[in-house]
Amino acid sequence: MIQIRHLFKSYGRQVVLDDINLSIEKGVITGLLGPNGAGKTTLVSILIGVVPADRGEILIAGRSLDENLGEIQTICSIVPQNLAIYPMLSARENLEYFGALQGLKGSNLKSSMAYCTEIASLQSFLDKRVGKFSGGMKRRLNLAIGLLNNPRILYLDEPTVGVDTQSRNYILETIKSINQEQETTIIYTSHYMEEIEQVSDTIAILDEGRLLLHAAKETLLQPQGSVTIRVNGINDMLRQSLGRIASVRVLDDGIQLQRDTRLRDNLIEILLLLKKQGVDVVALDSRDKTLEALFLDITRKRLRDAC
C-alpha cells in the first residue's frame, strides 16, 4: 500500500530523514516510534503531501506521490496531534464544515456524518458547542473528522494526548475496529508504548532520521526464552556445580535458565544450591520482552532535549 524508497529530507545542514526505505502492506496498522526529533512528523508530512522530499520515491496504492498527489490525497486522511476543530462551533457544524472541505455534500455528507458520529459515540452531543467538550470528547471528534472521507489510509499523530483512561481505551478500540472492518491502512505515531503494543501489527522505529527497525510486533515482542536469577556473588565451587546442570548458563552476576521442560526441576535444584552455599538471591527476572525495553535498547536511552 505504501512503499518508500531512498527518501531523504534536510533543513539546511540538518538531515531529518536519511535514506528511509519502508514498505507497509494494505490493511496493516504500523506503529511509528522515535525520540523527539527522530523525523516522525516530517515523514508523515511528506506522505500527506504537505512537505516535499529532497529526493526519493514514494508509491501509494501503486501510484507515484509526486505525480498523483491530488488523487492520493482523496484516499488519505490525517488526525493531527493538535486539535483541528473550531471550539465556537457545535460538533455538527464542525463535521459539516470539514466534510464540505472534502467535497462531501447532500446525502453523502449526511450519511458520512452519521457514521462518524456513531464511531465517535457523539450522538447526544452533536448540537453542543465543542468548546465545552471534555478532552476525550474533543479527541473523538477530531478522529470523527478524520474519518469523514472514509480513507483507505489513515495517519494518526498522538490521537490520545491528554485524555482520560476510558476515552483512551475507547479510541484505541475504535481504531482497531476501523482497521478490521474497513481494512484501513493505518500509521500510528505515539509516545505511549502500551498503545503501540495494543493496536499495531508492525512496528517501525526512527532515530536521528534513520529507520533502525521495522518488523512484525509478534517477532519483536516474542516471549523471552529464559529466566534469570540475579545473585550477590558466585564462587568457583558454585560455578562448577551449576555447570553440571543442563540448560543453565552462568553469568557474572547470576544464573540463566532456559524455558524448557527442565525449567521447574532446574529452578528447584539451583535454589537449593544457593541456599546450601549461603548465596543470596537479589532478583528473579522472568519478564517477557517489552516494547519500552526494546525501544530504549535501540535508541541508546539518552535524552533528546532540544530548544
In this structure, the answer to whether residues 169 and 37 fall within a common structural domain is yes
pTM score, whole prediction: 0.75
Q: How far apart are CA 154 and CA 101, in angstroms?
A: 17
Instruction: Identify how many contiguous H helices and E strands the chain contains and give both numbers.
Output: 11, 14
pLDDT digits (tens, 9 = 90+) for 93-111: 999 999 999 889 899 999 9
Q: Which residue has the higher pLDDT, 111 or 252?
A: 111
Domain range spanning residue 261?
226-285
User: Residue 209 is part of a domain; what is its CATH number?
Assistant: 3.40.50.300
Please report the sign of the dihedral spanned by the C-alpha atoms of residue 183, residue 187, residue 191, residue 196. positive
Q: How far apart are CA 79 and CA 168, in angstroms?
A: 15
Q: How far apart are CA 109 and CA 211, in angstroms?
A: 39
User: Given 220, 236, 260, which residue is the final one in a domain?
Assistant: 220
Across 226-238, average pLDDT: 80
Q: According to the model, what pLDDT value does residue 307 have? A: 45
pLDDT digits (tens, 9 = 90+) for 160-217: 888 888 888 888 999 999 999 889 999 999 877 888 888 999 999 888 888 888 888 8
Which run of H or of E encompasses 174? helix 165-182
pLDDT digits (tens, 9 = 90+) for 275-307: 888 888 887 776 556 676 666 666 665 545 554
Grid look-up 472514509 returns 150
Strand segments, DSSP code E, in 75-209 are 76-79, 153-157, 185-189, 202-207
In this structure, the answer to whether residues 182 and 239 fall within a common structural domain is no
CB distance 29 to 200 below 8 Å = yes
CB distance 186 to 29 below 8 Å = yes
In a domain, 306, yes or no: no
In this structure, the answer to whether residues 110 and 211 fall within a common structural domain is yes
The total number of structural domains that make up the chain:
2
Which amino acid is located at 207 in the chain? D
